Structure 1
Amino acid sequence: MRKIGITTTVPVEILLAANCKVIDLNNVFISGDSYSEDIERAERDGFPKSSCAWIKGIYGACLRCGISEIVGVQEGDCSNTGALLEVLKTRGIKVYHFSYPASHNVSDITIEMNKFMKAFNVSLEQTEAVRTSLSTIRKYAKAIDELTYIDNKATGFENHISQVTLSDFDGNPQKCGQLLEAKISEISKRQPRKQLLRLGYIGVPPMICDVFEYAERFNACFVYNEVQREFSFPRAAQAKDIYEQYYDYTYPYDLNFRLLEIKKQIRQRRLDGIIHYTQSFCHRAIQDIVIKQELDIPVFTIEGDKSNCLDSRTKLRLEAFLDMLVDLRGLKQ
């Protein structure tokens, strides 16, 4: 089976229809034992220390895994992806481009999707067949999400993993579906958690994944993971076709479109506070200014760089933020 890497979520249905094994290099990088080595390799090869650790990690993971073909998103994701792709070309890697048009209208998205289908020699009918076959797996991720914010049984980290894995279905949709189904069975048997504070996580998936477990020490739980949830396409069943599905995907478009869904989820999930994760040297960090102006609940911003765990200073600041939420909401420990 043809193996192809991706730099972020792309229309995976098209790649699967082309009989590709899809590998999200973000997941390979952040979950592997070679996490720091991937970054170091990129810096040895000339990537500046003042560049995003995600970009360096993707580069290192791509070479480590022997990826010979990669799909990069140049519009609607990281502003550094174009430069990354140029470097990978010099390493002999074949590059495909995909864009989420800034215009954010269905006609322009249709043009981009059709170009992508043509590049991989698949038809709309084949793509829609795969989209239908993935619907059950997407429902499993949605079920775990509901076990998180409705039943209070799944942890924030389990919610994170179950949704972020749908960017590439772990390279094997059938096995991914089986694992999620088994996880639902396991979680459903638990007693509900009793944390006082209900948190939302917004921004790119974190490099510092211990933030989920650390918050739980202070009677708080994450019941909303914004971008991870978008990776799982929770509204795919309501989309009439692949074009509409990717039109409704909030992450790659303007901040106002993202905020509409974030505000809806704040109300629906009864959130007490928001953790906004930003990555050092990322243009999206500037959006924190607007986010804090637009949201009517407290927002705590964490900026990550190379480390994959919380530092002491951030732990203290996070603890103080959670204490403030307890006081603000008039809750008792």
Structure 2
Amino acid sequence: MKRIGLTTTVPIEVLLAAGYSPIDLNNLFVVSEDYHKYIEMAERDGFPKSMCAWIKGIYGACIDNDIKEVLGVTEGDCSNTKTLLEIFKKRGINIHPFGYPHSHSKEDVREELDRFMEYMGVTLEEAEAQRERVNKLRAKAIYIDEMTLDGRATGFENHLLQLCFSDFDGDIERYDAFLDSKIEEIESREPAQKKLKLGYLGIPPMQGDLHDYVESLDARFVYNEVQREFAFPRALKDKNIYEQYHNYTYTYGMDFRMKDIRKQVEERKLDGIIHYTQAFCHRAVEDIIIKSELDIPILTIEGDKSNVLDARTKLRIEAFLDMLGDMKRDK
């Protein structure tokens, strides 16, 4: 199959129907043992130090892994993607644009999906056949989410296994088998409830040790917002691909996104939230809206280039969880 790099979650059903093997460049970058070389590669090629590390990492991962085609989301995600695609084009990479309409109207979403399917040479029937195939995996993500709530799956497993739904780790059949083995492993465990139930908001963290560090302090992320959206938890109930991508919260306005966040906060009985922001990312300003609309303790942390938590951030998290523990005890 032809490889195609992705800048974020896209209508993967269309790509599978078109014969592509999608590769999320974010995952390729952040899971690399030598991830910092991708950032350095971008900076050597002229990317400023004051630009988001994710964009630089995506660029480096694409060049270093010889990805010849890239599908970039030009509306609804990173504000730097348009320029990144232009740079890729100058490097001889074949680029394809896709946008989540800012209007969020059903008509505009349908029109963009129809344009994308026509552009990729795929019929609606072919895309729906792939959606039916992919939904079988999404049902497993829902089950893993449920096992996080009952204490069997860890917060990190919840985070990582749903995160990889953006590209199925590059091979949908292999990832399906991997999910089966992980589910069997998780099912065999005794539930291990933590004292505090947390929600994680914001883009997936640069720091891979965040979830495990929280677990070491007798707390657990039982809600990973964006990662859960990557697995499309409502897809099984959606009537078609148009409805599915209209109901996807991450790429639309904060009012729409906050409706589901408030619902999850209440249903999961969260004690607090950690909101992750990335240095130099325009989404950091969303923190103002999140804090004004949620009646729950929120700690905002920021990451930049490091893939591990620094001492200051660890101390802030520990103090926050101590405060939540005191509040819960007082109640």
Question: Does TM-score exceed 0.5, indicating one fold?
Answer: yes
Output the CA distance in 1 between the equivalents of 2:117 and 2:70: 15
Match of 1:30 in 2: 30
Q: Tell me if the contact between 1:209 and 1:308 (Cα under 8 Å) persists in the aligned partners.
A: yes
**1:61/1:331 CA distance change after superposition, 3 Å:** farther
Instruction: Please state how far the C-alpha of 1:317 moved relative to its aligned partner.
Output: 0.6
2:190 counterpart SS class:
coil
Instruction: Please state how far the C-alpha of 1:32 moved relative to its aligned partner.
Output: 1.1
1:271 aligns with 2:298: no
Match of 2:290 in 1: 291
2:173 counterpart SS class:
helix
TM-score if structure 1 supplies the norm length?
Answer: 0.98
Cα offsets for 1:252-278 (capped at 9, x unmatched): 000111111011001111100001000
Match of 1:110 in 2: 110
Q: Which amino acid aligns with 1:317?
A: R
Match of 2:51 in 1: 51
Output the CA distance in 2 between the equivalents of 1:219 and 1:52: 32
1:154-303 aligned within 5 A: 154-303=153-302
1:72-87 aligned within 5 A: 72-87=72-87
Output the CA distance in 1 between the equivalents of 2:60 and 2:205: 18
Cα offsets for 1:95-121 (capped at 9, x unmatched): 100000010011101111111111110
Instruction: Please state how far the C-alpha of 1:194 moved relative to its aligned partner.
Output: 2.7
Match of 2:143 in 1: 143
Long gaps (5+) in structure 2:
none
Match of 1:312 in 2: 311
Moved over 6 A (4+): none
1:2 aligns with 2:6: no
Output the CA distance in 1 between the equivalents of 2:128 and 2:44: 43
Q: Which amino acid aligns with 1:109?
A: V
1:66-105 aligned within 5 A: 66-105=66-105
Identity %, equivalent residues: 58
Long gaps (5+) in structure 1:
none
1:290 counterpart SS class:
helix
Q: Which amino acid aligns with 1:300?
A: L
Instruction: Please state how far the C-alpha of 1:50 moved relative to its aligned partner.
Output: 0.2
Output the CA distance in 1 between the equivalents of 2:208 and 2:290: 22
Q: Which amino acid aligns with 1:38?
A: Y
Q: Which amino acid aligns with 2:175?
A: C
Instruction: Please state how far the C-alpha of 1:69 moved relative to its aligned partner.
Output: 0.6
Instruction: Please state how far the C-alpha of 1:3 moved relative to its aligned partner.
Output: 0.8
